[in-house]
Amino acid sequence: MTAQSQPWTATVLTLFPEVFPGPLGVSLAGKALERGIWHLDALDIRAHAYDKHGSVDSPPLGGGAGMVMRPDVVDAALASVADRPGPVVYLSPRGRVLDQSVVRELAGEPGLTLLCGRYEGVDERVLEARNVAELSVGDVVLSGGEVAAMLVLDAVVRLLPGVMGNAESGADESFESGLLEHPHYTRPAEWQGRRAPNVLLSGHHARIRQWRRDQAERITKARRPDLWARYVGQTDHEPEDDER
């Protein structure tokens, strides 16, 4: 355990609880789960169905393809975890787009409840009645919210105190400074005729830091004009010439 008095608590409401923890059970997230830094409950929405068939969906009112998750079933599932800490979030293409600032916000909460939709989605009335926030992991359509939930939890858990062994390792990563991350190199210094930049072999830490910052700026400017525009609005930096 860390200095936290209670583990950060993740609750996932899903029709497929058996897929969890999945990749969250290995590497950093898995080790932190074993150590009790965070806690995961994947709960079956179907347990709150009202008929013997376990029905959770109905055809959309007004016609159309697919099925919609029923408000009464989803409401009962949400009511069963109403005492869990942190906000309730429905994973939806309509939601606020996930970025590192949102991840930091969620990591600062005592926990999080994630509602995973399926079919055509969830009846709007229960989202309104329960004041459920919506969060999108990108402009893509998934079969359900489970993969998106894993993405969100993986991003959040790694920021919890005590999860990353080197506290500085997260500070230099993509998006933390508003930039994409600089390139990485390791041994051997030369591989298949390609040599790592000389500055990285110099032992000159100030020059290495500057080179990495320059590379991060250069890559961001070339690959993510949206991030670059936001970054230059806050700084007066321009990428320096490459030094190899």
Alpha carbons 84 and 194: distance in angstroms, whole number: 53
Phi, psi values for residue 51, rounded to 5°: -125, 170
Tokens 């008929």 appear where?
Answer: 51
Alpha carbons 74 and 76: distance in angstroms, whole number: 5
Q: What is the DSSP letter of 186?
A: -
Q: Is 117 annotated as a binding residue?
A: yes
Which residues face 13 on adjacent strands?
A: 43, 115
Question: Are 37 and 6 in contact, with CB atoms under 8 Å apart?
Answer: no
Residue 243 to residues 4, 171, 197, 228, Cα–Cα distance (Å): 44, 23, 7, 21
Alpha carbons 68 and 122: distance in angstroms, whole number: 6
Binding residue ranges: 117
Binding residue ranges for S-adenosyl-L-methionine: 117
